[in-house]
């Protein structure tokens, strides 16, 4: 079972969470209508072009450079079509972050962390992910700002970011069936990682300090292990 599916199953058992929905157009989700069908191959290709254009614009100029009209032009879709997929720039950039994390997850799987303990492997994985974002500071800043600005209307996109981050952490831990206590530790680690991104982007923390914080919070993994007396 893929790690993302494990996250869904484990979270549902631990907290009664619903399973992850298939990708859908934003309109029905926003207005509480009936669930939309999964995207067709053509719609998914269009969505990928939009996300790629968003990432490219953000990489060049950050948050302010991502303008919906320019995204539509770059991805060769009508502006109205773009808004059907993503009702706002915040929706788009948070979805872009989920997409970037998904690509990052695939890269991390090709070269798994080498640490001896789960805590060491998670710390190594998160620092590798952090350094990948460090190479694209404008893009990282745009995505993190969007995540910070997101309100309840962006909850589905924010949830996808959280699930993807959780899947990355659980893969590094090598867990098939995490306990509620372990999932709680993962959430704290996730929050710390996102906070570290914010403090680094704002110039309030060095890479060295981020590494110390990540390694420190990852020790929670050992404390929540079922084998810990």
What is the distance in angstroms between the CA of the first residue and the CA of the last residue of the chain?
30
Residue where the block lists tokens 């704002």: 202
Query: Alpha carbon of 204 to those of 130, 175, 184, 208, 209: distances in Å?
Result: 16, 34, 27, 12, 10
Cα 202 to chain centroid distance, Å, stands at 20
Q: What share of the chain is helix, strand, coil (3-state, %, to 5)?
A: 75, 0, 25
pLDDT at 214: 96
Residue where the block lists tokens 């919070």: 217
- Please identify every stretch of the chain with a pLDDT value under 70, giving residue numbers as ranges: 1-36, 227-229
Q: How far apart are CA 200 and CA 112, in angstroms?
A: 25
Q: How far apart are CA 114 and CA 81, in angstroms?
A: 44
pTM for the full predicted model: 0.81
pLDDT at 95: 97
Residue where the block lists tokens 């190594």: 124
pLDDT digits (tens, 9 = 90+) for 123-150: 999 999 999 999 999 999 999 999 999 9
CB 146 within 8 A of CB 93: yes
Q: How far apart are CA 56 and CA 138, in angstroms?
A: 10
Both tokens assigned to 10? 């484990």
Q: How far apart are CA 169 and CA 6, in angstroms?
A: 12
Q: How far apart are CA 121 and CA 60, in angstroms?
A: 32
Query: Alpha carbon of 7 to those of 1, 60, 75, 183, 216: distances in Å?
Result: 10, 34, 32, 9, 23
């Amino acid at each position: 079972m893929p790690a993302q599916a494990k996250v869904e199953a484990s979270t549902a058992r631990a907290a009664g969470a619903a399973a992850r929905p298939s990708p859908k157009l934003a309109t029905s989700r926003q207005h509480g209508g009936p669930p939309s069908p999964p995207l067709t191959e053509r719609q998914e290709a269009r969505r990928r072009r939009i996300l790629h254009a968003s990432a490219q614009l953000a990489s060049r100029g950050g948050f302010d450079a991502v303008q919906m009209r320019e995204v539509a032009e770059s991805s060769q879709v009508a502006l109205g079509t773009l808004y059907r997929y993503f009702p706002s720039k915040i929706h788009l950039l948070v979805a872009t972050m989920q997409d970037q994390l998904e690509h990052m997850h695939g890269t991390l799987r090709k070269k798994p962390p080498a640490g001896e303990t789960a805590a060491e492997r998670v710390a190594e994985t998160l620092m590798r992910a952090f350094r990948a974002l460090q190479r694209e500071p404008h893009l990282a800043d745009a995505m993190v700002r969007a995540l910070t600005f997101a309100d309840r209307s962006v909850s589905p996109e924010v949830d996808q970011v959280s699930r993807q981050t959780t899947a990355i952490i659980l893969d590094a831990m090598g867990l098939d069936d995490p306990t509620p206590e372990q999932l709680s530790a993962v959430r704290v680690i996730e929050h710390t990682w996102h906070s570290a991104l914010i403090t680094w982007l704002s110039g309030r923390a060095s890479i060295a300090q981020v590494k110390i914080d990540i390694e420190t919070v990852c020790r929670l993994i050992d404390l929540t292990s079922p084998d810990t007396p």
